Structure 1
């Protein structure tokens, strides 16, 4: 059986086999090419290399050169990552790869790119906010915002190489929750200052100096206003 969303199979002889469309006959019939390897990862890489050769030979990846399984986010994300890899830092590449495999593929790979709507995408983002993460306690709005931003880039890339897309991901946004500012009363400020002076280190002295400078600034402003 193939991995979901990919034309990669385990053969009876133990090897892995990957299938891809290498061209079309005069009648429009798909002509398939095959790659083989000892591991799933090796075949996936070879198949991806064959797919990425198509955009190099023309302006876009033709819709006719894609099979149904190529329209899933696992294949799309691999193509996109390979296209941007020469232009970004390794740390950025690792971040994108982690977000894609941790959240995007797990949430969206059951859905073909052409079937994704703004309503479905928003529902998936809400699910990540409520139940995402290893513990299922929900992800931060910052993380889900990063995931949504990445999906938008994937959808934009999909359209540029001939994938049919139904939404851009820009139909909604993730509202960032702002933390409520805590204002200390005079007695609490005095308690904090005593603690900082009693436990002197570079960090605490720095905090104390910031508080002192802020207090001095407020007094100066009050004098000017008065």
Structure 2
């Protein structure tokens, strides 16, 4: 039974159905739009948004031919469907796609009239901004996902197909430091007096991602076992509320495989003990902090850029340290499954595809062996 004035009904299938006036049919009868949801409050919010959209139309004809504009549905999709299911950082990415690309390009279109040409137009607009093909296609795929959700909510009859073929991703060999370049970098690091330098050294010998490195707390360092426990990541994300445009987020990693234990070298353990004693670090304090503030990813990115210039090592990025760790492990004949666990990869196949390369030193060693065989 509907609550008075709400036009919201509880259906036999366990869902709530909301009904609202969208105009007049060609025969003069009242035309209604419908929304559905598992919760009464969910349906009520959808009705409020769609009623507001319908009332803002300049003509009744525009209002009754569809269930509102694409912009209205995209905002419903973001808040009611996407946001409850994903991390805040992922929500920020989705919302950026909606706010910066989808709404400006096709937000004014009528939802029920969206077709393949609409997605094609969105794709062309994105590409005109000099955005790469892969990113443009990814945004269009998210737009199509929103349309699929509209179909499931009975706002759309058919979901249009993507007007392009999927870009095949090619795994290029990762950039890593040669042994001589790594030695050159390590000679430049002052690990005892610079916490940023120590963060670089720490990542070289643990293979952690930049966000994982920043998120390490003293409770994650198990001195008795000489192990590092990775449980969280730290990243700066876009915010859409309040006065601040961005904020630091300390959160669990996206995949369970990223939660892992990494053995620490004896040198790392001794340096960590010295630092903890000097700063009197408590369990909940971050290992990498300066002037009572945690060192965040963009600070380390800026620092590694300065190191690159100082050492004369071109294209040195923080992720290069991770790739170098994996390469040194392979050079020392570590098995792929163990390396996958150390790197936090979901499968050993990905590790093999990504790091199954040979260094120039390895190639030379193998060729020298062949020469000895034929001598």
Question: Aligned partners of 1:180 and 1:199: how far apart in 2?
Answer: 29
Query: Cα 1:197–1:115, aligned 2, differ >3 Å: closer, same or farther?
Result: same
Instruction: Give the TM-score of the pair, scaled to structure 1.
Output: 0.53
Deviation sequence 1:58-113 (CA, Å, 0-9, x none)? xxxxxxxx634743211212332343267424614444333212211111123223
Aligned partners of 1:105 and 1:123: how far apart in 2? Answer: 12
Once the two structures are TM-superposed, the CA of residue 165 in structure 1 deviates from its matched residue by 5.0
TM-fit CA distance, 1:191: 4.2
More RCO (CA 8 Å, sep 6+): 1
Shift in Å at residue 212 of structure 1? Answer: 3.7
Mark the CA change 1:204 to 1:49 in structure 2 (over 3 Å): closer, same or farther: same
* Unpaired segments ≥5 residues, structure 2: 1-19, 33-43, 52-62, 190-200, 207-320, 334-357
Gap change, CA 1:169 and 1:72, over 3 Å in 2? farther
RMSD: 4.4
Structure 1 position 192, deviation (Å): 1.2
| C-alpha distance in structure 1 between counterparts of 2:162 and 2:114, whole Å | 13
Q: In the comparison of the two structures, how many residue pairs are matched?
A: 172
The answer to which structure has the higher helix fraction is 1
Match of 2:77 in 1: 80
Structure 2 residue matching 1:162: 3-state secondary structure: coil
Q: 1:154 aligns with which of 125, 146, 152?
A: 146
Pick closer, same or farther for the CA change 1:69–1:101 going to 2, 3 Å: farther
Listed one character per residue, the Cα deviations across residues 198-224 of structure 1 (whole Å, up to 9, x for unaligned) are: 1343234554654443334465x947x
Matched, 1:99 2:97: yes
Distance across 2 between alignment mates of 1:209 and 1:85? 36
Question: How far has the Cα of 1:150 moved from its partner?
Answer: 1.8
1:119 to 111, 117, 120: 117
Q: Distance in 2 between matches of 1:164 and 1:89?
A: 24
Per-residue CA distance 1:157-198 (angstroms, 9 max, x = gap): 2223333456424453452664754789xxx93541332331
Q: 1:212 to 1:160 in 2, by over 3 A?
A: closer
Give the conservation status (yes or no) of the 8 Å contact 2:83–2:91: no
Match of 1:215 among 331, 344, 361: 331
| 2-structure distance, mates of 1:154, 1:48 | 15
Q: Give the Cα separation in 2 of the matches to 1:176 and 1:212.
A: 29
- Once residues 27 and 196 of structure 1 are traced to their aligned partners in structure 2, the CA distance between those partners, rounded to angstroms, is 79
The yes-or-no answer on 1:192 pairing with 2:193 is no
Q: Is the 8 A contact 1:141 1:176 kept in 2?
A: no
Contact 1:197 1:205 in 2 (8 A): no
Compared CA separation, residues 196 and 111, structure 1 to 2 (3 A): same
- Change over 3 Å in CA distance of 1:205–1:157 after alignment to 2: closer
Partner of 1:202: 202
Give distance in 1, aligned partners of 2:134 and 2:122.
Answer: 15
